Amino acid sequence: MKRRFANVLPLPVQKALRALGSDMRDARLRRRIPTALMAERAGISRTTLVKAEKGDAGVSMGIYATLLFVLGLIDRLEELATAGRDDVGLALEQERLPKRIRLRRHGV
């Protein structure tokens, strides 16, 4: 029996993909772009567009990125994992900072 990829994804990932797809669909509709034209601009089939707008985990990250580009929203993708938004990473880095710095004396 074949197992679907989405079944092994954590539930928050599935929800995030569905939300992304839904948001992209809403953005396309606000711009009054028909599915055929959107798919053509992205260089994909209408079937793949529909899957992406449903948040299908089998759609590649590159296709999601291209759709965001076509919608004029690619700048938001660039900001997703920037260091400034990585609260956990910044907190861990802060913990590892030395408490004090000792200068080495040369020749003593």
Q: H-helix or E-strand containing 27? A: helix 11-30
If one counts the domains in the chain, the total is 1
Residue with tokens 């028909």: 34
Range of the structural domain that residue 77 is part of: 7-95
Q: Quick one: CA torsion of 89, 95, 99, 101, rounded to 10 degrees? A: -30
Q: Do the domain assignments include residue 100?
A: no
Other beta carbons within 10 Å of 55 = 22
pLDDT by position in tens, the chain (length 108) = 445 554 689 999 999 999 999 999 999 999 999 999 999 999 999 999 999 999 999 999 999 999 999 999 999 888 887 878 788 888 888 888 777 778 877 765
Q: Any residues with CB less than 8 A from the CB of 108 and at least 6 apart, and which? A: none
CATH code for the domain of 47: 1.10.260.40
Q: Is residue 103 part of a domain?
A: no
Spatial CA neighbour of 31 closest among 1, 67, 64, 59: 67
Q: Evaluate if pTM is beyond 0.85.
A: no
Q: Quick check: 24 and 53 in contact, CB under 8 A?
A: yes
| Position 102 in a domain | no
Q: Is residue 106 part of a domain?
A: no
C-alpha span between 6 and 1 (Å, rounded): 15
Six token digits for residue 60:
């590649």
